[in-house]
Chain A
């Protein structure tokens, strides 16, 4: 699964930073049919977690009401330089992860 994480490269200590993630995923609702008339099984990213240097800072439980190629934007306090890591899992049990690093000054 392809994903893109966007966050400022550098931040001041204690600053509120914006984090954005977009994941390529069909977020199949389970209400659609293929050309043969067979129901396409529901397959959505049901859980997504974000860790900042190992500590969970954000978690989302998603459903079929989230648009295809889910996009999320939220905030966090920049505390220390390090890694921001996302991990998620879909209904088919497929896992994905993506990381980005940040430098905190001051």
Chain B
């Protein structure tokens, strides 16, 4: 027989359990796994979101070879072009996947390749423009069979 007293006791218990968990959740959400790497690339300069797109299948069957295309919105003129694009992985043992160096002679700021992905994760591309500004874009990829990059 559930009495109101027991109910009050149970809800109080639930409250006690929930309170210390909340701040931990918030801290986890704020810790960006890319932050130290991005810091290394930019040297502390601010990174704006946008202009960079990663085109990749939402679901990749085979993590050993995932087709991917990074493109940046840029007129690619001598005055305004993309200097470099760095591709970062959240879960690979070596997070820096590749760096591509472009210039005004590229005509179009887009590079396509095939990457290895060690599991379902978020990818981040950071582009440096000729004016020194940094832009980034990300993509989520669900990997069914991960590239067994770790010794296991």
Which residue numbers of A lie inside 8 Å of B, CB to CB? Answer: 16-17, 29, 31-33, 39, 52, 55, 57-68, 70-77, 79
Contacts and interface: CB of A to CB of B under 8 A. Distances in A.
Interface stretch (B15-23, B30-38, B87-95, B137-145): B87-95
A61 B113 contact: no
B116 A74 contact: no
Interface stretch (B1-9, B40-48, B101-109): B101-109
A66 B63 CA distance: 11
Interface of B: 64-66, 69, 87, 89, 92-103, 105-108, 110-117, 148-151
Given A65-B117, A67-B66, 12 more contacts: A52-B105, A58-B102, A59-B101, A63-B96, A64-B92, A66-B114, A67-B65, A68-B64, A70-B113, A72-B112, A74-B102, A74-B112
Contacts of B150: 31
B110 A74 contact: yes
Given A63-B94, A67-B64, A68-B65, A73 B151 contact: no
B105 A66 contact: no
A55 B98 contact: no
A68 B116 CA distance: 8
A73 B98 CA distance: 13
A16 B105 CA distance: 9
13 contacts: A17-B107, A33-B151, A39-B151, A60-B99, A62-B98, A64-B149, A66-B113, A66-B115, A67-B113, A67-B115, A70-B113, A70-B114, A75-B106
A65 B113 CA distance: 11
Contacts of A55: 105
B65 A73 contact: no
Nearest to A72: B113
Contacts of A70: 113-114
A63 B93 CA distance: 11
A60 B97 CA distance: 11
Q: Which 7 A-B pairs have the closest CB atoms?
A: A65-B97, A16-B107, A73-B112, A75-B108, A67-B65, A67-B114, A59-B101
A75 B110 contact: yes
A32 B64 CA distance: 13
A63 B94 CA distance: 8
A63 B111 contact: no
A66 B111 contact: no
